[in-house]
Amino acid sequence: MTATSPPPNLPALASLRFLVAIAVFLAHGALEILFLNQMVGGIYLFGIMPIALSGVSYFFILSGFVLTWSHRESDTTIRFWRRRLFRIFPNHLVTYLVALGLMLGTGAAVGFTPALAQLFLVHSWVPDPEYYNNINSLNWSLSVEVFCYLLFPLLLGFARKIRPERLWYWAGAAVTVVLAAPVVAGSFLPNEPVHPLGDVSLVQFLSALNNPDQPADAWGHASLTQVWFVYHLPIIRAAEFFLGVLLARIILNSRWIGLRPLPAALLLGAFYVADVFVPYLYQLSAFTIVPMLLLLGSVAAADQHGRAGFLRARGLVWLGDLTYAFYLVHGSVLIYGHRAFGTVETEFGPEPKSWEIPGALAFLAGAFLVSLLLAWLLHNLVEKPAMRRWARPKPRPAPPPVHPEPETAEQRIAAEVRG
C-alpha cells in the first residue's frame, strides 16, 4: 500500500462480525428460558452472556475502524451522513414497524413517547427500560451508532492530527474511559432497582443451586440505572467507537504491535473464562475491552496482507454482509417464535414453554435459520435497494453544449488583422 493508494478491503472483519452475532443470538436465546433443566439453562445463560456482552463492544469498535479505514479525502460531512442514514434507517424502520405490530397484536401496551423516541433512535439517552428495552429492543445500539456518526467527522479530524507515535497513548486514554464507566456508575448512581441479571454470575448461580438459602453477594449487584449508564448511554459507548478510529489510524500508520490473530483469540478466550468471576457491571465491556481491541487489530493487520485464513472464506464473508439485518430481526424471531408454541401456567402466571435439551436446541436451530432467511430478504429487498437509490446524490445532468454563432465576414477579417 502506497501513500496514495486506498487501503485494501478487509473481508475477514465482516466474517468475524457474523461470528460475534451468533454469540449475541445465543445470548438472547438464553433469555427466553428454553431449557426445562434449571442447571442447564443457568449455565447456558451465564456462560454465554459475557461473550455476547463483549461482542457488542466489537460492533462499536468495528464501526469506528471501518469508517476510518474506508474514508476518502474527497468525501464531505453531508455526503457521509447521508450514506449512514440510508445505510441504517430503512432496515430499522421495517423491523421497528414489524415489532410494533407484533406487540400491539399480542395486546402489549406501548407508550407513545417511548415509541416515538425509538423510531427516531434517541431512546438510549433515557435511563428507563420503557425506552431502551421496548418494541425492537435490540436497536438501542443504533441510537449509539447515530450519535457516533454525528461525531465521526470531528473524531476523525482529531485522530488525524495525532502524531503516529502517540496513537497508542490516546487509545489507552479511550480504554481508561471504558474502564472508568463501571466505577463511576457503581460509586455515584442508585443501587436500586436491581437489574434482572445484575446480582448474579455463573459462579454465584452454581453456588446458589448448592446453597439456596445463601443470599447473593452484594459486590455483584448492578442496578438498572447503573447498567444503562455503562451499557446503553451513547456518550459512554462512543469511547469504543473512538477506539476503532484510533486502531485504524494505528494500522494505517504501520504502528501495529505485531500480535497475530491466534494468540489474540487465545488471550480473549482466557478473559472469557475469568469473566464469570467478574461483577456484572464490568462484564458489560470493561473487563474484555483490551483483548477485544487486540483481536480486532490482529485480524485487520493480518487481513491487510491476505493472511486471515478461514475468515476470508467467501461463504463466511457473505454471512458477514447479512449481519446488520440478522441483528435486527433475530430478537423478534426468538420472542414471538417462542410464544407461538403456547404457554404453561406457573406460579408467576402464564409463561412460554420450556423443553428438554433436544427440544430447546431444535428451537434455537430453527430460530437461527428463520432469522437468517429473514435477514437475507431484508438485506436484498430493503437494505441494498435503499443504498443504491438514495445513499448517494444523483449526478447533475451535464449542461447542453454551447454552439458558437457562425463568424461573420467582418469577424474573420478582424481576426486576421489581429493575427
pLDDT for residue 218: 46
Q: Given pLDDT bands bounded at 50, 70 and 90, which one contains residue 125? A: very high
Q: Residue 416: is its pLDDT beyond 60?
A: no
Domain boundaries, the chain: 11-394
Helix axes 314-321, 323-339, angle to 10 degrees: 70
Contact criterion met (CB below 8 Å) for 182 and 282 = yes
245-268 pLDDT, tens digit each: 999 999 999 999 999 999 999 999
- Which residue type sits at 42? G
The per-residue b/e assignment along 207-225, b for 16 or more CB within 10 angstroms, e otherwise, is eeeeeeeeebeeebbbbbb
- Which residue type sits at 337? G
Structure pTM?
0.90
The C-alpha torsion from 312 through 75 and 255 to 273, rounded to 10°, is -50
Helix axes 234-252, 167-188, angle to 10 degrees: 160
The mean pLDDT of the chain is 90
Q: Residue 404: is its pLDDT beyond 90?
A: no
43-58 pLDDT, tens digit each: 999 889 888 998 999 9
Contact criterion met (CB below 8 Å) for 184 and 229 = yes
